[in-house]
Amino acid sequence: MDAEAVSATASGDLVLETRGLTKRFGGLVAVDGLSMAVPRGQIRGLIGPNGSGKTTTVNVLSGLYRPDGGEIHLCGQRTDRLRPHQITACGVARTFQISKLFGHMTVLENVLLPALAALDRGSRRPLAEIRERGRRLLDFVTLDRMRHAQARELSGGQSMLVQIARALMVQPLHVILMDEPFAGVHPTIRDIIMEAILRMNREESVTFLIVSHEMAELRRLCQRVTVMDDGRRIAEGTLEEVANDPVVLEAYLGT
Amino acid sequence: MRCWVPEAMSPLARRIVWSLVAFAALSWLPLAVSDYHTHIFIISLYYVILAASWNLLAGYAGQFSLAHHTFAGIGAYTSALLSLYAGVPVLAGIGAGVVVAAVAGYGLGTLCLRMRAIYLALATWAFAESVRLLVAVEYPITRGDLGLKTAYLFGTAQPTPYYYLFLALTLVCLLVIWQIVHSRVGAYLRAIRDDEEAAGVMGLDTFKWKRAAFVISAVFAAVAGGFQGHYIGLLSPTPMKFNEMAMIIIMVIAGGFRTFSGPVLGAVFIELLAEELRGWGEIRMVLFALLVLVVARAYPSGLLGLCLAARRALTRRMPVLAPLLPVSRPED
Amino acid sequence: MAHLGLEHVAAGYVEGIDILGNITLEVKPGSITGVIGPNGAGKSTLLKTIFGFLHPRRGSISFDGRPINALAPFEIKRLGISYVPQGANIFPQLTVEENLQLGGWVIRRDGARVAERLESAYAAFPRLREKRRRRATTLSGGEAKMLSLAKELVTEPTLLLVDEPSAGLAPRIVEQVYAQLLTVRDQGVTILLVDQNINKAVQVSDYLYMIERGEVRRQGTRHDFADQLHAIVRDALLGA
């Protein structure tokens, strides 16, 4: 671990940490001994050439895949053996690259779902309060007027905004994992997404781990960036630092 | 539903009142028609419960199970065997049947937790066939295809009291299903149906609620099956054949898959149609299959869709009728 | 030999969003022309637009002087352009021979020609001859890629569009695939190559275009690019 992470660990405030994380699919090692640490309140970018294991990493972190080795610590808890809903209960939310909204439910119902699910875990928030928060979040992503629309009728960019509002509904919320939030999204909507991320980070100290290829956006958002290639971490630092790292450049150039 | 019921009542209370009104409204039936027709309506009500509860599992939770009729059979046989061999009173027997079905539903649900679509269908089909064969083969106990006589719940084969029983049962079942569907549980089930992965990642324990859907629907089927067994007076493994499951699917799809009222309409319509066309014999199944194809291809909202369209057309011509005809969203 | 020209081409999948904004490029006869660029730049979309899966919203595409904007893929194939998509684009349950025959679908009525073309394919790729009656699922990754390439050569194209030939392949196989492309070029087939693997693309291409966000940002010969590689990637990373 590098100096920054060491000092963060010393202060005990790492929101996300992996140690030697490994995931295999048959003979293919998608994630190969990945170790990284993200302190609270940071917006971290996760970049790397195609096939470097970024999406697999996010899927393992959110519990959709079981890791084959290593450890994951999220919000102070060991989560590598937990099921997705248990990881969410620790304060982890995520968005997907493709629209994974509940198609036959309305936009508002989609956004409310995490809070409704929390009721099943013992949360006691009244329905009225849940609805109000849902509407505020939709307003935050400028989609309140579409709250009664069927989710499957939304465009790609609108779906991403609803996914974000839905992720923000998770409480407690410590960290959001985002997989390609800008892919194929209209510039106006990109700005809304970036605004939302920056606000949540500033006002609620939400930590972000963002997988993306959109370097211009990452440059504006991320304080720090981790670079993966072939399932391993090959560099970490500010975007300027990694962009000047020959190891990183060679990785992007290919074999 | 609006207008005639005081606004001050809670939604649940209002629905209970409507159910009582419906009960009262439909109670003239046995007095006005023959025993044969009353019997047909009882059978329709039985299928309404089966259709509505299967729709809860398949339409709302997205688990396309092919073993629903089996739980009706489990309810019926458990009760019959207990009363025959252990002298258990009929109502207690039906209760036991429900418990057995719930446990079996829990087991089946657990087995199918990681299965999707076709594998789920195959696994539940295999379960259904296994149970049916078990019942048929163990004829020293169950009398198999020779038929197992059961005690009449009301001590008579006369349909009238059973009509009121089934009417009450159906209304209660529909009320409970309505409550489930419109509660947060309904949202859980629909989320699991639409995108199970996303549902899990949003904090929902998908395994728990899929199992719950299996158990709940099995319980309804067992209730219906248990009481049906003590009405018909004779049980056989025949209603546990796939034909019966096909009928349930046909009723739900023809009525309107994934809606609340669709299965109700579909069950009544198909059952009445089946009786009308009794003279056709097995050809009826061909007709129903064609109906399902037509509905699936051209008019997915089914009978409910037709009714809603008719209501729209009527109220446009005669707006004064609007308060009389229930308002409903497509999901209803 | 084939010549392909694109002038100010714009294309996209969804109304209002252009994946390609303004592409002007030229594929000279007998060359291997490479197109590189970051993810989402529109490289795959470019090939799909040339081959007729998408029609350009603006601009024109001409092949040997003739506009091909509005043609369907099978018509474009008949003109002598073949398209090798990413990955192993073969029919797994069919045999190697059947796959090759399907490659010749648009010339299927000429049985003699198809048979002759199959013989050429086996001559060029002896491994495929050994496995001609085996199901395609039994092929290794490299052999499958070989088959998908051979399949597209059955119609004797003058222009080959290749989409990310190295994607998903082990490094050793990657070498073989590029060697095969060079052989194909030496036999007189012009190649337009789209690639994520910048090193390989520069090694193998005579002329290169770099596209980003749907537009051509840089172009030049292999030598122009070879000196600039680090700078190119660095600029891309910094979102410049």
Secondary structure tally for chain A: helices H, strands E: 10, 10
Q: Would A5 be classed as within a structural domain? A: no
Mean pLDDT is highest, among B146-150, B222-226, B320-324, for: B222-226
Domain boundaries, chain B: 11-240
Q: Do the chains contact at B187 and A112, CB–CB below 8 Å? A: yes
* CATH, residue C85: 3.40.50.300
Q: What angle do CA A41, A44, A47 make, to 5 degrees?
A: 175
What radius of gyration, in Å, describes the C-alpha atoms of chain A? 18
Q: Which domain holds residue C71?
A: 4-237
ipTM of the complex: 0.91
CA–CA gap between residue C45 and residue C38 (Å, rounded): 13
Nearest to C6 by CA among C240, C228, C225, C211: C211
> pLDDT-derived band of residue B300, with 50, 70 and 90 as boundaries?
confident
**Helix runs in chain A, H state only:** 3-10, 54-61, 84-89, 107-120, 127-140, 156-168, 187-204, 215-221, 239-243, 246-253
Residue A72 phi/psi, 5° resolution? -125, 130
Query: How many CB pairs below 8 Å do chains A and B form together?
Result: 78
Q: Do the chains contact at C167 and A50, CB–CB below 8 Å? A: yes
> pLDDT-derived band of residue B331, with 50, 70 and 90 as boundaries?
very low
d(CA A151, nearest CA chain C) in Å: 18
> pLDDT-derived band of residue B9, with 50, 70 and 90 as boundaries?
low
Q: Please answer whether residues C95 and C135 qualify as being in contact, where contact means their C-beta atoms are separated by less than 8 angstroms.
A: yes
* CATH, residue A155: 3.40.50.300
How far, rounded to the nearest angstrom, does the alpha carbon of residue B315 sit from its chain's CA centroid? Answer: 31
Domain count, chain C: 1
Give chain B's mean pLDDT. Answer: 89
Residue with structure tokens 């697999």?
Answer: A56
B205 touches chain A (CB under 8 A): yes
d(CA B38, nearest CA chain A) in Å: 39
> pLDDT-derived band of residue B8, with 50, 70 and 90 as boundaries?
low
Asked whether the bond before A172 is cis by omega within 30 degrees of 0, the reply is: yes
| Partners of residue A14 on adjacent β-strands | A39
Dihedral, CA atoms, A149, A151, A153, A155, nearest 10 degrees? 110
Residue with structure tokens 């051509």?
Answer: C216
Residue A65 per-residue DSSP state: S
Cα distance from N-terminal residue to C-terminal residue, chain C: 38
| Partners of residue A34 on adjacent β-strands | A21
In angstroms, the Cα distances linking B135 to B65, B104, B138, B140 are 20, 15, 5, 10
Q: Would A205 be classed as within a structural domain? A: yes
CA–CA gap between residue B174 and residue B19 (Å, rounded): 9
How far, rounded to the nearest angstrom, does the alpha carbon of residue A88 sit from its chain's CA centroid? Answer: 12
Structure tokens, B18: 């409507």
Question: Which chain C residues contact residue A47 at CB under 8 A?
Answer: 237
Antiparallel, parallel or unpaired: β B148-149 and B234-235 = antiparallel
Q: Which domain holds residue A224?
A: 42-64+82-253
Averages of pLDDT over runs of 10 residues in chain C (240 residues) are 88 85 93 89 90 93 92 93 90 93 90 91 89 90 90 93 87 86 91 91 93 89 89 82
Q: Do the chains contact at A243 and C237, CB–CB below 8 Å? A: yes
CA–CA gap between residue B223 and residue B239 (Å, rounded): 15
pLDDT value of position B321: 62
Question: Which chain B residues contact residue A112 at CB under 8 A?
Answer: 187
**How do residues A69-110 score in pLDDT, each as one tens digit?**
999 999 999 999 999 999 999 999 999 999 999 999 999 999
CA–CA gap between residue C69 and residue C59 (Å, rounded): 9
**How do residues C161-188 score in pLDDT, each as one tens digit?**
999 998 878 778 888 889 989 999 998 9
Mutate to test the interface with A, among C197, C200, C234 (most CBs of A within 10 A): C234
Nearest to C174 by CA among C156, C152, C199, C206: C199
Touching B (3+ Cβ pairs <8 A), the chains are A
User: In the structure, do chain B and chain C come into contact, i.e. share 3 or more CB pairs under 8 Å?
Assistant: no
Q: Would A198 be classed as within a structural domain? A: yes
User: Which of B190, B200, B203 is facing A102, going by the closest CB pair?
Assistant: B190
What radius of gyration, in Å, describes the C-alpha atoms of chain B? 20
Nearest to A253 by CA among C38, C164, C197: C197
Domain count, chain A: 1
